[in-house]
Amino acid sequence: MVIMPNDCLTNKSFMSTKKCMFNLKRSRRKFTIMIYILSKIYQNITTHNACTTRELYYGNTILFQNNLNVRKALINICCLLGTTSWNLGITLTSSGLVAGDLIVHLCDGEIIDCSITPEGVQIPQDILSIQHFQTNAKYILIVEKDASFQKMLNEGIMKVQNNHYPCIMITGKGFPDINTRLFVRQLYIKSNLPILALVDANPYGIEIMCTYRFGSKEMAHQNEMLSVPCIKWLGVHPSDIVSLNLPTTPLSVLDRLKIESLLKRPYIRSNHQILQQLLALKYLNKKAEIESLTTFTSSYLTGVYIKEKLLSHEFY
């Protein structure tokens, strides 16, 4: 079985293949896992059913050993077949949350009101079952971390008088899963609302923003269906570290390596403003988190920072 890596589907200069062969001891488990998943896919398609990646894992924990092996094999299968997991009857487990002025209507008649739960509601498992969205929101705000998401909800960011406009807030709880990314894209396509991202002023926060906006290398063969290039970076910007005198910590060796990796990416090099912010982070050799904005007052993030960014259109 020959698998084309993700990169070769988007850039011919990376054309190469990797092999997974049953007669090679080091490939035997990978090969068996792929055949097992393919059998489940065939079953899903012929019976018009679906299953989650979690259900796949618990269907044969001895074979898979961990969830990561399920994910890797599924990515390879999708790349091999040139399709997406959801088209193969495999839905992905959602860890993301959504809150705010949004009602989600599903094909089976179920209605999810995202405004009634104070801590947000879980993003639906089957994004393709969403029939339409109903909202009066003026923008969508993606928040990197669940802790920041919950704090902002507790501070009343959804109150119109606090941020001037009703909004929808989403968190992928760190690096977003595919379902969260797919939900963001579907919400944008069907609502055409502007989307802003609030992440830490560190290389991993910037990478998370870029994953929503440009896609990920791991899922390059599906980036067109998962990314939203019009997403704007609201903050926290490395330039805010200086202008607001934010509390910082030094960059680690891994942080510096991640910056160098990001600087090589074409979408970074072609975006002057993001490039300058990343270079500023590199030269500062310091990083700051969203939580650093609470050192002024506990409500500074929602009551001042976001409000001023919205009014000044200081995002890019």
Question: Catalytic site residues?
Answer: 58
Question: CB-side exposure of 73: number of CA atoms within 13 Å?
Answer: 28
Contact, 309 vs 244, CB < 8 A?
no
Q: Which two tokens stand for residue 133?
A: 């969205």
SS3 assignment, position 117: coil
Distances (CA, A) of 73 to 106, 231, 267: 29, 30, 28
Q: Among candidates 282, 122, 261, 306, which has minimal Cα distance to 202?
A: 282
How many helices (DSSP H) and strands (DSSP E) are in the chain? Answer: 15, 15
Residue 61 tokens, joined: 């924990």
Q: Give me the DSSP letters along 22-55.
A: TTSHHHHHHHHHHHHHHHHHHHHHHHT--EEHHH
Q: How far apart are CA 52 and CA 126, in angstroms?
A: 9
In this structure, what token pair is assigned to residue 294? 């609470």
How far from chain centre, in Å, is Cα 171? Answer: 8
- Residue 134, by phi and psi: left (phi above 0), alpha (psi -120 to 50) or beta? beta
Phi then psi dihedrals of residue 172, to 5 deg: -95, 5
